[in-house]
Amino acid sequence: MNEIVFIYNAKSGTVNSLIDWAHKIVSPDTYECSLCSMTYDNFGKRAEWSKFLREIKVKSSFIYRDHIMNDQNLKDASLPCAYLKKSNDIRLLISSDEMNAYKDLEELIVSLRKKLEELT
Protein backbone atom coordinates (compact mmCIF):
# COMPACT_ATOMS: atom_id res chain seq x y z
CA MET A 1 0.00 0.00 0.00
CA ASN A 2 1.26 3.47 -0.89
CA GLU A 3 1.54 6.27 1.63
CA ILE A 4 2.48 9.91 1.31
CA VAL A 5 4.58 11.11 4.24
CA PHE A 6 4.49 14.87 4.66
CA ILE A 7 7.15 16.35 6.93
CA TYR A 8 6.58 19.77 8.44
CA ASN A 9 9.42 22.17 9.10
CA ALA A 10 8.00 22.72 12.56
CA LYS A 11 8.25 21.11 15.97
CA SER A 12 5.43 19.21 17.62
CA GLY A 13 3.68 20.08 20.87
CA THR A 14 1.19 22.57 22.22
CA VAL A 15 3.70 25.30 23.03
CA ASN A 16 5.29 25.07 19.59
CA SER A 17 1.84 25.14 17.96
CA LEU A 18 0.98 28.35 19.80
CA ILE A 19 4.29 29.94 18.83
CA ASP A 20 3.76 28.93 15.19
CA TRP A 21 0.19 30.24 15.24
CA ALA A 22 1.38 33.63 16.51
CA HIS A 23 4.30 33.69 14.05
CA LYS A 24 1.94 33.11 11.09
CA ILE A 25 -0.14 36.12 12.20
CA VAL A 26 2.64 38.53 13.17
CA SER A 27 5.18 37.73 10.46
CA PRO A 28 3.83 35.26 7.91
CA ASP A 29 6.60 36.00 5.37
CA THR A 30 9.28 34.72 7.75
CA TYR A 31 7.44 31.56 8.81
CA GLU A 32 9.67 28.59 7.92
CA CYS A 33 7.06 25.95 7.07
CA SER A 34 5.37 26.61 3.76
CA LEU A 35 3.55 23.26 4.03
CA CYS A 36 1.97 24.41 7.30
CA SER A 37 1.09 27.82 5.87
CA MET A 38 -0.57 26.37 2.78
CA THR A 39 -2.54 23.60 4.48
CA TYR A 40 -3.59 25.35 7.71
CA ASP A 41 -4.97 28.76 8.43
CA ASN A 42 -5.40 30.32 11.86
CA PHE A 43 -8.58 28.32 12.44
CA GLY A 44 -7.23 24.86 11.57
CA LYS A 45 -6.84 22.60 8.57
CA ARG A 46 -8.13 24.13 5.35
CA ALA A 47 -11.29 22.45 4.06
CA GLU A 48 -9.95 22.09 0.52
CA TRP A 49 -6.86 20.28 1.88
CA SER A 50 -9.00 17.84 3.88
CA LYS A 51 -11.17 17.23 0.83
CA PHE A 52 -8.14 16.57 -1.38
CA LEU A 53 -6.65 14.09 1.10
CA ARG A 54 -9.94 12.14 1.18
CA GLU A 55 -10.24 12.14 -2.62
CA ILE A 56 -6.78 10.77 -3.45
CA LYS A 57 -7.42 7.49 -1.64
CA VAL A 58 -3.76 7.21 -0.67
CA LYS A 59 -2.87 7.03 2.98
CA SER A 60 -1.29 10.26 4.19
CA SER A 61 0.75 10.78 7.32
CA PHE A 62 2.16 13.98 8.75
CA ILE A 63 5.20 14.24 10.96
CA TYR A 64 7.12 17.07 12.56
CA ARG A 65 10.84 17.64 12.21
CA ASP A 66 11.52 16.61 15.81
CA HIS A 67 10.02 13.17 15.07
CA ILE A 68 12.44 12.22 12.27
CA MET A 69 15.70 12.38 14.20
CA ASN A 70 16.04 8.59 14.51
CA ASP A 71 14.77 7.68 11.05
CA GLN A 72 17.84 6.96 8.92
CA ASN A 73 15.89 7.50 5.68
CA LEU A 74 14.59 10.93 6.68
CA LYS A 75 16.92 12.45 9.25
CA ASP A 76 18.88 14.53 6.71
CA ALA A 77 15.83 15.66 4.73
CA SER A 78 15.53 19.31 3.83
CA LEU A 79 12.15 20.48 5.11
CA PRO A 80 9.26 20.82 4.46
CA CYS A 81 8.91 17.97 1.98
CA ALA A 82 6.89 14.90 1.08
CA TYR A 83 7.93 11.31 0.46
CA LEU A 84 6.15 8.43 -1.20
CA LYS A 85 6.41 5.20 0.75
CA LYS A 86 5.82 1.87 -1.02
CA SER A 87 6.42 -1.26 1.03
CA ASN A 88 10.06 -0.90 2.13
CA ASP A 89 10.91 1.74 -0.48
CA ILE A 90 10.74 5.45 0.28
CA ARG A 91 11.46 8.15 -2.27
CA LEU A 92 11.25 11.90 -2.39
CA LEU A 93 7.98 13.10 -3.90
CA ILE A 94 8.25 16.86 -3.28
CA SER A 95 11.54 18.49 -2.31
CA SER A 96 11.71 21.41 0.09
CA ASP A 97 12.71 23.71 -2.79
CA GLU A 98 9.64 22.65 -4.73
CA MET A 99 7.38 22.89 -1.67
CA ASN A 100 8.66 26.38 -0.87
CA ALA A 101 8.13 27.48 -4.49
CA TYR A 102 4.39 26.73 -4.50
CA LYS A 103 2.43 29.97 -4.38
CA ASP A 104 -0.63 28.49 -2.68
CA LEU A 105 -2.53 25.37 -1.71
CA GLU A 106 -4.09 25.00 -5.15
CA GLU A 107 -0.65 24.76 -6.75
CA LEU A 108 0.40 22.11 -4.22
CA ILE A 109 -2.75 20.07 -4.89
CA VAL A 110 -2.37 20.29 -8.68
CA SER A 111 1.24 19.16 -8.43
CA LEU A 112 0.40 16.26 -6.13
CA ARG A 113 -2.42 15.08 -8.41
CA LYS A 114 -0.06 15.11 -11.39
CA LYS A 115 2.70 13.26 -9.54
CA LEU A 116 0.27 10.61 -8.28
CA GLU A 117 -1.18 10.12 -11.77
CA GLU A 118 2.33 9.63 -13.17
CA LEU A 119 2.97 6.89 -10.59
CA THR A 120 -0.12 4.85 -11.44
pLDDT at site 89 = 85
Q: Give me the chain's average pLDDT, please.
A: 84
Least confident of 26-30, 54-58, 85-89: 26-30
Cis peptide before 80 (omega within 30 of 0): yes
pLDDT at site 60 = 95
- What's the average model confidence in pLDDT over 74-87? 85
Residue 83 has pLDDT above 70, yes or no: yes
pLDDT at site 77 = 83
Question: What CA–CA distances, in Å, run from 43 to 24, 37, 64, 103?
Answer: 12, 12, 19, 20
CA distance 80 to 89: 20
* pLDDT tens digits, one per residue of 10-45: 777 776 676 666 656 666 676 577 888 889 888 889
CA distance 33 to 10: 6
**19: Cβ–Cβ under 8 A, 6 or more apart, which residues?**
none
pLDDT at site 30 = 63
- Residue-range domains of the chain with CATH: 2-119 (3.40.30)
CA distance 48 to 86: 26
